[in-house]
Homo-oligomer: A and B are copies of this chain.
Amino acid sequence: MANTELLIGVDLGGTNMRVGAVTEDGKVFHRLKLPTNVELGLQEVVEKLIKTIRQVIQEAVSNGDRIIGIGIGSPGIIDIKSGIIVSSPNFPQWKQVPLKQIIEERISIPTFLDNDANAFALGEKWLGAGKDVQSLVCLTLGTGVGGGIILGGHLWHGVNGMAAEIGHMTVVPDGLPCNCGNSGCLEMYASASSIVRRIVIALQAGESSAVTDYVNNDLTKITSDLVYHFALKGDSLAGKIMHETSIYLGIGIANLINLLNPEMILIGGGLTNAWDLIYPDMIQEVHKRAFEVPAKRVKIVRASLNDNAGIIGAAGIAHLNLKKLSKYIPS
């Protein structure tokens, strides 16, 4: 491969940053993955990001290829027109960060920014489980619950570019307080971190689980994967938490079906490791609550691009913007 036009895709996650060079038909090269280390602060994270992007660019250029654009998928509220991270629950210290401008000043390649969940949706539509599907709603169940809505083949950004905040749909009116200021958000019941939070609350309230012994009473060591594995082993509290997760995820999905009647609901993120445990209760709740015809019609599937979804989707943001293949902000 040489003399090929490549796009840099940057998946700036709360836990890891992933950078790769992507061909126009979606092949990923020179992939790097580093911990984000949010605790180091904005400046350090941005420097690490720039260094990583430059490293990928150098590898591509030394192969004889050309980089035509950079796409970044970032968690949080993104002003997509000006390329600013307005705020992000996963980067609490970051406010109004003009990331597009910073990258373009330092790297001199056209850079485009969007919400990471929109990027994820775009990637899965481009090359993943959502290929050939025109209307799909994507959810990412990770540190938070992200969403991307594709209708009639186009990402629906909303009038401020802030649509698809599916994680902040209220599913329990008097539920757990969320970082966004609301209470009872889907994110408080269907994210990986919410599983940890809810089991810790239960343990601190005196309920018991074998997880406690496993982490030697250090509740900060509990992970959602641990809760999942103890649920599989029959631990009652872990099972209850996972069941609750499935039910509220089902409620959220039923709402999406009744509201948008999409062809597909596509689910990614770390919590899909527990897919086999979550799916049966979730799907039962969906059919209990959603209208029959749209509930039967919709395919509810796992994301297929896995680790590369974020990079491909982020590259897709740059691709769409550079090629004007789509009216990118259809409001």
Contact = CB atoms under 8 A, between A and B. Distances in A.
Contacts of A234: none
Number of copies: 2
Contacts of A158: 135, 260-262, 294
Contact of A293 (B147, B162, B290): B162
Interface stretch (A119-127, A169-177, A221-229, A300-308): A169-177
Nearest to A256: B259
Contact of A152 (B169, B258, B294, B330): B330
B135 A254 contact: no
A273 interface: no
B170 A255 contact: yes
Given A151-B151, A152-B331, A165-B258, A297 B159 contact: yes
Nearest to A86: B293
A62 to B, nearest CB: 43
A56 interface: no
A171 B170 contact: yes
A135 B331 contact: yes
Given A173-B251, A330-B152, A160 B297 contact: yes
A58 interface: no
Contacts of A157: 261
Contacts of A48: none
Interface in A143-193: 147, 149, 151-152, 154, 156-166, 168-173, 180-182
Interface in A87-135: 134-135
A288 interface: yes
Contact of A180 (B172, B291, B330): B291
Contacts of A197: none
B135 A261 contact: no
A77 to B, nearest CB: 7
Contacts of A247: 173
A289 interface: yes
A254 B297 contact: no
Interface string A57-78: 0000000000000000000010
A331 B261 CA distance: 10
A291 B255 contact: no
B151 A156 contact: yes
Nearest to A136: B159
A238 B77 CA distance: 40
A263 interface: yes
A161 B168 CA distance: 26
Given A160-B261, A161-B261, A259-B163, A77 B291 contact: yes
Nearest to A173: B251
Given A77-B293, A291-B180, A259 B173 contact: no
A162 to B, nearest CB: 5
10 contacts: A151-B156, A151-B330, A152-B330, A156-B260, A158-B262, A159-B261, A160-B297, A162-B294, A171-B173, A173-B248
Interface of A: 77, 86, 134-135, 147, 149, 151-152, 154, 156-166, 168-173, 180-182, 247-248, 251, 254-256, 258-263, 288-291, 293-294, 297-298, 327, 330-331
